[in-house]
Amino acid sequence: MIFLLTSKVFYDLHQTMKSLLHYPKIEEVNGHIHPLSYNILNEAIPRSRECSDAGVPLWSCACRQQTVVTGNWTDVHKNYAQMAADKINTHHSQKPQTSCMDVHIDTITSVIEQTFAYGGRENLVHYHIEFKSQQGPSKWQVQVNPKGSIEYLKQISRYEKYRDCHDKRVSIEFCICRQYPPGTP
C-alpha cells in the first residue's frame, strides 16, 4: 500500500523531480512545494499515511474496496438513479418548449460500490450506477459521492443520433428528442 501512496501522489513526484534539478543538493528545492508532499529520494514516508494525508482525492484513492452489486438494487441505488434522471431532465425543463423528452428510468443495469477508509473514517461509499431509460432508448452512468452528490453524469449510449432533432439550447448529450426502436445504437 505504501508504494501505491507514493507512486500515485503527484505532490510527491513534483517535489522529487524538482529536487533532481538541484542534484547533488536534493534537499535544497526552491519554489512551491505542497505541504503534504515528501521527497521520495531522501524522506521516509510514514506507514500510517492515508489518502487524505497525501492529498489524494477520495474518488482516486487506492485504498478503496470495490463491490459489484448484482441484481439486488436497494432503495439507495434506485434513489441515486432517480436523482440522476431528475438532473438530466433539468437540462431542458428550465427552457420553454424544447424538443427534448424527460428521461424515465427503465432498468438499473449495474451498481459498483466503492468503500473507503478515508481520514480515519470508515464506511464512506462511492456509487457508480448505470441505468437505461425508456426514452431513446438511452444508457446513462452516474457517480455519486459519499455525501450523496452527483460527481459526474453522462450518457454512455450513442447520442449523435439526436443531432438532427435536438434543441440547440440544450447540450446534445442531455437531449433525447426522438424515440428509436429497441436495439438501435
pLDDT band at 63 (very low <50, low <70, confident <90, very high): low
pLDDT for position 144: 93
How far apart CA 135 and CA 157 sit, in angstroms, is 12
pLDDT band at 172 (very low <50, low <70, confident <90, very high): confident
Instruction: State mean pLDDT over 49-55.
Output: 76
Q: Is the pLDDT of residue 149 over 80?
A: yes
pLDDT for position 2: 40
Containing 34, the helix (H) or strand (E) segment is: none
Nearest to 131 by CA among 180, 177, 88, 163: 88
Contact 63, 135 (CB under 8 A): no
pLDDT for position 62: 63
Contact 145, 59 (CB under 8 A): yes
All three cell numbers of 136: 431513446
> What mean pLDDT value characterizes the chain?
80
CA distances from 163 to 40, 135, 172 (A): 51, 15, 7
Q: Which residues pair with 2 in a beta bridge?
A: none
Pairwise pLDDT comparison (134 vs 51), residue with the higher score: 134
Q: Is the pLDDT of residue 174 over 70?
A: yes
Q: What is the DSSP string of 105-154?
A: EEEEEEEEEEEEEETTEEEEEEEEEEEEETTTTEEEEEEE-TTS-EEEEE
Residues 6+ apart with CB under 8 A from 35: none
Among 24-33, 85-94, 120-129, 153-162, the range of highest mean pLDDT:
85-94
Amino acid at 103: V
How far apart CA 38 and CA 158 sit, in angstroms, is 44
Q: Is the pLDDT of residue 76 over 50?
A: yes
pLDDT for position 3: 42
Fold that domain 66-174 belongs to in CATH:
Nuclear Transport Factor 2; Chain: A, (3.10.450)
Q: Is the pLDDT of residue 129 over 60?
A: yes
How far apart CA 154 and CA 138 sit, in angstroms, is 11
The structural domains of the chain, with segments of one domain joined by +, span: 2-56, 66-174
